[in-house]
Amino acid sequence: MSPSRLGPEGQPQVLDIRQGHSSFSLGEEILNGMRCQPRSLPSLLLWDDRGLEHFDRLSQRPAYYPFHGDIEILCKYAPSICSALPANGILLELGCGSIRKTKLLLSGLRKQNKPIHYFALDVSRESLETNLGQISSEFEDCHLITITGLLGTYDDCITWLSGLKRAQENISVTIMSLGNSFANMKKQEASLFLERFHIACRHAHLACHFIISTDICQNDAKVLDAYDVQTPEFQGFLLNALESANLALDYQAFNPADWTTSARLDSCERALDFYVTAKHDLLVTLPVSCNERETIAVRKEERVHLVTSGKWSKEAMGSICEQARFQIQQTWKDNAGDYCKHSIEPFSQSCAKWLINSRLRHVSTGTGSWTVKIT
């Protein structure tokens, strides 16, 4: 299915890459998650337009170090990060929630006169059109930067990328995650995520490279202060997932007033899990079909999992990459050492660069054989 163009003329092009409007069934995922033990709801419910607004507000809190660390790294190391991006390549951002971060990086590319085609992937059409409109106006005088939006999920993006016909000028793809969303997955899922995008790039005959932000904070008190689910900003963000579920189901299954928010930090796995928790015994009625309903009993204080946020050390991240046959090439950290960005490449690609960039000097021996010295 070829992508269709969305949005008005004169604005950045937005391609609808969804594999049909039923490429994922949120309703089915909601039903299955509520049937299971422990119960869960799809994390995608957090990221509708209202959810993005809630998240933008909570990220501005002084205690929320991931956002401020991300900005600090981009302000301090943008020239170095931009130098790691190949010219005439594709820069694919997974989610376009924070324009401020994207502008810092694109400004660095403009200063280096580096041609690039910037693609922003998001599940929200409104967010794409609004944010890309602002970015486009900021860089309308820069003809080296092309801006395009992609409407769809990660799975849709992988399908789109694998079918991309390589233009002569686009020989590489840098896949970029500026927030900590990469660590919303389990470690094994994160490895598979890298591998799936790498396979898609190979199908399109494109070199593959990642710039991934990760929260590496090992201070439990600082983490819990940053992710305080009792603040109005976090409560609004998490409880909005219930409203989003009602929209996905086209049915009033959840009343946010019946729920509160909670979190649990797993110090061993370095992961923070977020939940909505029932205030009292509930009967949640969910639509199974047009004419059929299923009622699920939820006990008082029973938790429904929404999302996980990993706090992975560089060693843990290295292990995740290694399982996917990638390795970390470079790391940029904030001053506190709580947040970082990794430049990640496949093993084979890294070895090729190492051979090219190393200075090789052959030295003759008395036996006529050759020794190679790396200098």
239 within some domain = no
Tokens of 252: 């009033």
70 within some domain = yes
Euclidean distance between CA atoms 199 and 193, whole angstroms: 10
Per-residue pLDDT, 170: 56
- Can you point out the beta strands (E) in 267-311? 271-278, 282-287, 293-298, 303-310
82 within some domain = yes
197 within some domain = yes
Q: Please spell the DSSP secondary structure of 224-240, one letter per residue.
A: HHHT-TTSHHHHHHHHH
Per-residue pLDDT, 370: 31
214 within some domain = yes
Q: Provide the CATH number for the domain around residue 189.
A: 3.40.50.150
Q: What percent of the chain has pLDDT over 90?
A: 73
Kindly report the pTM of this predicted structure.
0.84
How many distinct structural domains can be found in the chain? 1
Three-state SS for 78?
Answer: helix
Strands 293-298 and 259-266: what pairing? Answer: unpaired
Determine the number of helices (DSSP H) and then strands (DSSP E) in the chain. 11, 17
Per-residue pLDDT, 365: 33
Residues of the chain with confidence (pLDDT) below 50: 22-23, 352, 354-375
241 within some domain = no
Per-residue pLDDT, 95: 84
Per-residue pLDDT reduced to its tens digit, 288-321: 988 899 999 999 999 999 999 999 998 999 999 9
Q: Please spell the DSSP secondary structure of 308-320, one letter per residue.
A: EEE---HHHHHHH
Per-residue pLDDT, 195: 96
Domain that holds residue 351: 4-23+61-220+312-357
103 within some domain = yes
Per-residue pLDDT, 49: 87
Three-state SS for 220?
Answer: helix
Name the DSSP class of 154: H
270 within some domain = no
Ramachandran angles phi, psi of 282, nearest 5°: -130, 150
